[in-house]
Structure 1
Amino acid sequence: MDQDHYRKLERMYLASKVNTQIFDSTTAKVSHEKAEIGLKIDPKYFHALGAIHGSVYFKLLDDAAFFAVNSIVAEVFVLTTTFNIQLIRPASEGLLRAIGTVRFKSKSLFVAESRLYNDQGKEIAFGSGNFAKSKVALSPEIGYR
């Protein structure tokens, strides 16, 4: 794959409505079989006890694994078919960083894992999932530009 593909994936991610209308401070860096997604913690992501809600952990972990897989699939959008997470510790301030990597690839199945770190470098969650190719072409209509 080439750098142009990685930059288009990053722009597609950052321009998506969930990242422009709900999650404010996201960053994305895609490379071969790897992706890093960042989010600045905001109290609007907290549950009642004042820490990040598990849905935010899930989103960051899934996004990082997803883009690690899509880094090696240039023709179509991939889909998450399963994704499981394990929460290790809470986070309530600073920056979160999810790093996803491809663990297995075949013609029709991809397995990727991701780890979520706080800004002290401590792992706070991890996950893994299965991904498959969709029939939706990567195109400017879906933000791949």
Structure 2
Amino acid sequence: MNPREDHYRALLAFHRSTFVGPWIRPHIELEDSQCSLSVRLNAFSCSPLGTVKESIIFQLLYDASFLAAGTLETTLLVQCDKFEFFPFQNLTESRVTAQARLVYSSLKQWTIESALKDEWQNDIAWGRGQFSRSSVLLETIGPYNNELLKQKQDW
């Protein structure tokens, strides 16, 4: 296992430790500057009208963008400076995929774009976030550090 893969695993452990709610258990794939997050939405994610809540759509786009940005920094936690999203159409219960990728990089900031698609590859929403390095060391965050330690132990 190389250090980059260790970082990805620890980043996923940290991210999964923050989930709240019965509807979120996504399948996540990370690559350098990219993230794909897929999940089956159920009744917990829907409004009384039967459509998926915009807050759920926002969270999926944000999470994919945050993880994509997190792959770019291996020592400090990334922070979101600005995030905006644009829903295109209503969504009902289905499997969705949020894909995020780096579109612009400078020394101090990254711009990540994300798109949410349903199982038929229809565009549901689009988001753009600006991320930068925070002053928080990743190794001071419990779930991140615990996963790194677990990977390094000899059994």
Q: TM-score, normalised by structure 1?
A: 0.90
Matches within 5 A, 1:102-121: 102-121=102-121
Q: TM-score, normalised by structure 2?
A: 0.84
Q: Secondary structure at the match of 2:141?
A: helix
Aligned length: 143
Residues 22 and 44, structure 2, Cα contact 8 Å, conserved in 1: no
Give 5+ residue unaligned stretches, structure 2: 148-155
Matches within 5 A, 1:132-143: 132-139=132-139, 141-143=141-143
Q: Distance in 2 between matches of 1:134 and 1:140?
A: 13
Q: Secondary structure at the match of 1:139?
A: helix
Report which stretch shifted further, 37-46 or 77-86: 37-46
Give 5+ residue unaligned stretches, structure 1: none
Residues 113 and 129, structure 2, Cα contact 8 Å, conserved in 1: yes
The aligned residue for residue 66 of structure 1 is 66
Residues 51 and 90, structure 1, Cα contact 8 Å, conserved in 2: yes
Q: Secondary structure at the match of 1:120?
A: coil
Q: Which has the larger radius of gyration?
A: 2
The aligned residue for residue 32 of structure 1 is 32
The aligned residue for residue 15 of structure 1 is 17
Output the aligned Cα RMSD.
Answer: 1.6
Residues 104 and 111, structure 1, Cα contact 8 Å, conserved in 2: yes
Amino acid at match of 2:8: Y
Q: Distance in 1 between matches of 2:58 and 2:7?
A: 25
Note the C-alpha offset of 1:22.
Answer: 4.9
Note the C-alpha offset of 1:35.
Answer: 0.7
Note the C-alpha offset of 1:24.
Answer: 3.0
The one-character-per-residue Cα deviations of 1:92-132 (angstroms, maximum 9, x if unpaired) are 12211100101111221111000001111211111101111
State percent identity of aligned pairs: 22
